[in-house]
Structure 1
Amino acid sequence: MVRVLRDWWAEAALLTGFVVLTAALVWWAPLLAVDRAVRDWCDAHRPPWLHPVLVGFDLLGQRALVLPLVLVVAGVLAVRRRTVGPLALAVVAAAVNSVLVEVLKRWTSRGAPHHGSIEMFSGDPAVEYPSGHVSNGLVYYAVLAVLLSGVLPPLARQLLRWAPGVLVFVGTTGLAWHWLTDSVGGYLLGLLQVLLLRRLGKFSSRGP
């Protein structure tokens, strides 16, 4: 048991963090006050010039835009290398992320900052927790970084792997399209998936 905890501490910490955050949103009212305060601050400190910048950040996590890119890159590599490995990695990562986020969103049924209820399990049709855009910004770009491991230098791969998730977090929260805790939940969930994929040996230094 000690060895398991030592080897899996990062994944366990992320999963625990997500569970604790979700529970706190249900039973700890001050956290909802933080969400409201962050939304109001962003609304009051978002100059017109910043709006399109934040929209651009948010679009980095738009599945309809980034997933086709991932699949095209994976498909080209699969043909060139004559192996289904790259395509399998892209498809599995996309499927797991999409299903996991969608199930959690519908289960928690939380509204958006400017329409719907801030309460969890409200039955609101606007399902916002956790942020799928933020999770996408971690999972899809981590896959891209691996697929392009033979093309990009190490620093570029690290930027591709980690920068989009942070930018999407800033964009969607700054626009008040998601509550702050939606974005935190999406980041925890996305990072957990990246670590689990790496654990399965998919993210080796040589790529798929």
Structure 2
Amino acid sequence: MTSVSTANRSASTKPWKPYRVVPKSWWPDLWLLVAFLAFSALLVWPTFVVEFDVWMREFVEAHRPAWAYYVSRVLIFSGQFGLLGVVALALASIVAYRSRTIRPLLALIVTYLITGGILILKVISDRVAPRWKEDESDPTLPFADVDQALLFSNLEPSMSYPSGHVLNTIVWFGFIVLLVGSHMRSWQRHALRWTPPIIATVAMIVLSWHWVSDVPAGIFIGFLILRFILRINWATMRFPPALAWLEPENKILGIPPATYREFFRSSYAPIEPDEQRLRQRWPDGSPVAPKL
């Protein structure tokens, strides 16, 4: 009875099919980094970019209707790091349970650590927000002027640059597409990738939570992180001895752990033939299973 139920469960288990559009070149990554550094240089002294930031802040504060403020307070949650992390954790747990693999959760942990590490960059850049005190109910709060809106301002609190909200939407909604994108239509994947960053950008500018120039920096770093995540062969990489316990069934099947050289070669490489087969379909519409 047990063997029959186990066999039925194994037959009903579908392998995880991460939807990876693998970057083919490193040049875009290099240009994203150069663009971030060059754009950041324009914020070290009072340039036209900083002056535009202050002008836009004053324009929004003078013309913002009450309804736009409250709608933006709701929409801004689309870029909250904690909320997106919880949603991604729930989805990764469901995918891991249904596929009987720890790999979606491993991808989540790596993404979470890399994205959380951007807090270091926000601390180093030391830039205040347009309204840079925390108590928004106080109408006497100071607004940063052109000289105070620069990087390395030495004011507190100062963690505005780059925009974490935009970065989070790019990375985490891109990660959600990685998790379950193979079950979506093309327009759904595009909507999930591009709509949240636009919503978060508009909402945080309306709320004066970020400068306009914080947005491009968040875009540059967000895509750098996402492109790195997409390059990893989450579903097919071989685990070394230190991680072999994550897949105990390999020991039962007599599959030895990979050497560390094999681990790095299998984890960070262009799309593999087996993963290409996951994109193929049988005549009945079901996905072609990978070779084991």
Calculate the TM-score normalised by the size of structure 2. Answer: 0.64
The 8 Å contact of residues 68 and 206 in structure 2, kept in 1 or not, is answered as no
In the other structure, the counterpart of 2:78 is 60
Amino acid at match of 1:121: F
Structure with bigger gyration radius:
2
| Aligned-residue offset at 1:134 | 1.1
- Residue 24 of structure 1, aligned match among 19, 29, 42: 42
The 8 Å contact of residues 109 and 122 in structure 1, kept in 2 or not, is answered as yes
| Aligned-residue offset at 1:28 | 5.2
In the other structure, the counterpart of 2:150 is 119
Q: Secondary structure at the match of 2:181?
A: coil
| Aligned-residue offset at 1:152 | 2.3
User: Matched residues in 1 for 2:152 and 2:229: separation?
Assistant: 30
1:151 aligns with 2:183: yes
1:169 aligns with 2:201: yes
In the other structure, the counterpart of 1:3 is none
Aligned 1:85-100 pairs, distance under 5 A: 85-99=103-117
Q: Identity percentage over the alignment? A: 30
User: Matched residues in 2 for 1:14 and 1:201: separation?
Assistant: 23
Give the root-mean-square deviation of aligned CA atoms: 2.1
1:130 aligns with 2:146: no
Q: Deviations over 1:100-142 (max 9, x none)?
A: x201111011111012531211222321111111110110111
Structure 1, unaligned runs of 5 or more: 1-5
Q: Deviations over 1:7-43 (max 9, x none)?
A: 2221112111111111110145222101101111211
Q: Secondary structure at the match of 1:7?
A: coil
User: Matched residues in 1 for 2:190 and 2:91: separation?
Assistant: 18
Length, aligned pairs only: 201
- Residue 104 of structure 1, aligned match among 121, 127, 139: 121
Calculate the TM-score normalised by the size of structure 1. Answer: 0.88
Q: Secondary structure at the match of 1:26?
A: coil
Q: Secondary structure at the match of 1:119?
A: coil
| Aligned-residue offset at 1:52 | 2.1
Q: Which has a greater percent of helix?
A: 1
In the other structure, the counterpart of 2:33 is 15
The 8 Å contact of residues 35 and 179 in structure 1, kept in 2 or not, is answered as yes
RCO (CA 8 Å, sep 6+): is it higher in 1 or 2?
Answer: 1
User: Matched residues in 2 for 1:137 and 1:89: separation?
Assistant: 17
User: Matched residues in 2 for 1:74 and 1:165: separation?
Assistant: 21
User: Matched residues in 2 for 1:70 and 1:128: separation?
Assistant: 24
Aligned 1:189-200 pairs, distance under 5 A: 189-200=221-232
User: Matched residues in 2 for 1:128 and 1:144: separation?
Assistant: 25
User: Matched residues in 2 for 1:8 and 1:28: separation?
Assistant: 33
Where does structure 1 differ by over 6 angstroms across 4 or more consecutive aligned residues?
none
Aligned 1:71-90 pairs, distance under 5 A: 71-90=89-108
| Aligned-residue offset at 1:158 | 1.6
In the other structure, the counterpart of 2:192 is 160
The 8 Å contact of residues 57 and 211 in structure 2, kept in 1 or not, is answered as yes
The 8 Å contact of residues 177 and 192 in structure 2, kept in 1 or not, is answered as yes
User: Matched residues in 2 for 1:188 and 1:43: separation?
Assistant: 27
Amino acid at match of 2:165: H
User: Matched residues in 2 for 1:37 and 1:142: separation?
Assistant: 32
- Residue 39 of structure 1, aligned match among 48, 57, 76: 57
Amino acid at match of 1:21: F
User: Matched residues in 2 for 1:27 and 1:57: separation?
Assistant: 32
In the other structure, the counterpart of 1:185 is 217
Structure 2, unaligned runs of 5 or more: 1-23, 133-143, 235-270, 280-292
